[in-house]
Chain A
Amino acid sequence: QVQLQESGPGLVKPSETLFLTCAVSGDSIRNDTYYWGWIRQSPGKGLQWIGSVYYRGNTYYNPSLKSRVTILIDTSRTQFSLRLASVTAADTAVYFCARGVSVWGQGTLVTVSS
């Protein structure tokens, strides 16, 4: 059974970079059938897709975040990551990682505050 687990700091200062990882178990991250992606949920904006990456390298980002986002696959650690630069309070949200449309992690709350 596929399981995803997000990890990273729960508090990030404004203007700094948010970095989260998603550990994958029960499936190979080399599985190109699915994308590996990130979604976030904040009270103000509901669910927002951040971006997705395929093992073979194609990466897609939400245009509203594209200038600040990087999603990478780390095959050596069977995980993928999210970097979001220059964060503000508006980036405070629960961040979920996902395998395609069908499997989501439990989510991790990230608060942007000084």
Chain B
Amino acid sequence: DVVMTQTPLSLSVTPGQPASISCKSSQSLLHSSGTTYLYWYLQRPGQSPQLLIYEVSNRFSGVPDRFSGSGSGTDFTLRISRVEAEDVGIYYCMQTIQLPLTFGGGTKVEIK
């Protein structure tokens, strides 16, 4: 299985400040087609995960532009340029290049 490792486990951020989450995969997520199959989700308290970023850097419909994704191969980052109160929750990365699909362990973001 592809192991997805997220750091840090948790973040406490002042509103308006940036935040950054790392996700590393145990093997490359780059497909021969040129697509890299890495996704980011936010799970707000009591809700199901919602897609933020697909294929490394593409914001899903309705996702604010303060969210951005970057990276390549095995090393990826989710950045929030200015954290807002509604951004609290647990962030997960996920890979779909190889079955079984696997998720990172999650990063909990809290507001100071």
Contact = CB atoms under 8 A, between A and B. Distances in A.
Contacts of B49: 47, 96, 104
A47 B103 contact: yes
B47 interface: yes
Interface residues of A, number: 17
B50 A104 contact: yes
Given A46-B106, A101-B39, A102-B54, A62 B47 contact: no
B60 A102 contact: yes
B92 A47 contact: yes
Nearest to B49: A104
B17 interface: no
Interface string B1-34: 0000000000000000000000000000000000
Chain B contact residues: helix, strand, loop or mixed: loop
A52 B94 CA distance: 15
A49 B102 contact: yes
B73 interface: no
Interface string B95-110: 0100111110110000
Interface in A71-114: 96, 101-107
Contacts of A101: 39, 51, 54, 94, 96
A36 to B, nearest CB: 13
B39 A104 contact: no
Contact of B100 (A63, A96, A103, A104): A63
Interface of A: 46-49, 52, 60, 62-64, 96, 101-107
